[in-house]
Amino acid sequence: MNWSEKRICVTGGAGFLGTHLIQDLRARGANEIFVPTIEEYDLVDPTAIARLLADSNPDVIIHLAAHVGGIGANREHPAEFFYDNLMMGVQLMHQAYLRGVEKFVAIGTVCAYPKFTPVPFNEDDLWDGYPEETNAPYGLAKKMLLVQSQAYREQYGFNSIFLLPVNLYGPGDNFNPRSSHVIPALIRKCMEAQDQNADQIVVWGDGSPTREFIYVTDAARGIALATECYNESLPVNLGSGFEISIKDLAEKIARMTGFEGDLVWDTSKPNGQPRRALNTSRAKEKFGFTAQTDFDEGLQQTIDWYRANRK
């Protein structure tokens, strides 16, 4: 793909992952990048999608936009997370096909995997069970884009791909306590506890689940590489290959932020999926992607960014 000759629309391009992706695309030579905002284009509304496509006239759409959050937000808003994500993605892909867009890149979620998927998660296991209950509506809404991608390629020859990034982290992450994921939530709790001279923080669950995380610039590079080089509808994991328990993660963040108090585990709160770690061999095979950022290094950069920007 010659990026300099393509008009690219990145939904969610003003968000956490989107800003890093746009930097990566510009470094590859992309000049015409259209970034719709939710204030101007509500992608749940099909008329807004039609207006977006008319205004941007894209050759390539990278669909990052999503209504997302951590376990708490998923429990509070399951219907919104299902409806908004399903309607945004399905209608956007359909109208992109009708308009003759050259390529559609759909970003899924690791939440689409069944609750008890064998570790490491293999893309062929996506349909072997129901997702973990707390984020199943969101995960299933996103997984419908895989079904649509494969169906539209089979019937219409439409070039769409479906990527499954694991949990992201990095500078610019969402640190809102009502909607953030575990890494920014723990960083904020530890720093606020120090500000208030508190001797403890409360952490959800019992600490036993494991998670894999990918640094945001690695994820952006993986999406750019797939957009450039991958043209099949087989789903592809984007991960780092590094798995850590929530207990070890919380202790690491406390140590790296300088919080010396106690971690109190609230076992009345859900653990979420028992384990999450991805098989990333397909990404390497299909478009040469492997993550490069050491977890401790990425975590330190995330902590430093929040410390510098939180006020």
Query: Which helix (H) or strand (E) covers residue 63, if one does?
Result: strand 60-63
**Closest to 195 in 3D by CA, of 184, 205, 183, 187:** 187
Name the active-site residue from 41, 113, 138, 169: 138
Rounded to an integer, what distance in angstroms lies between the CA atom of residue 308 and that of residue 174?
A: 15
Query: Which helix (H) or strand (E) covers residue 175, if one does?
Result: none
Strands 160-165 and 243-245: unpaired
**Closest to 175 in 3D by CA, of 105, 257, 83:** 257
Given a contact cutoff of 8 angstroms between Cβ atoms, the answer to whether 220 and 171 are in contact is no
Rounded to an integer, what distance in angstroms lies between the CA atom of residue 175 and that of residue 142?
A: 23
Give the amino acid at 219: A
Q: Is the dihedral of CA 150, 142, 13, 27 positive or negative?
A: negative
Cα dist from 179 to 98, 217, 283, whole Å: 35, 21, 29
152 among known catalytic residues: no
Given a contact cutoff of 8 angstroms between Cβ atoms, the answer to whether 68 and 16 are in contact is no
Active-site residues, by number, are 138
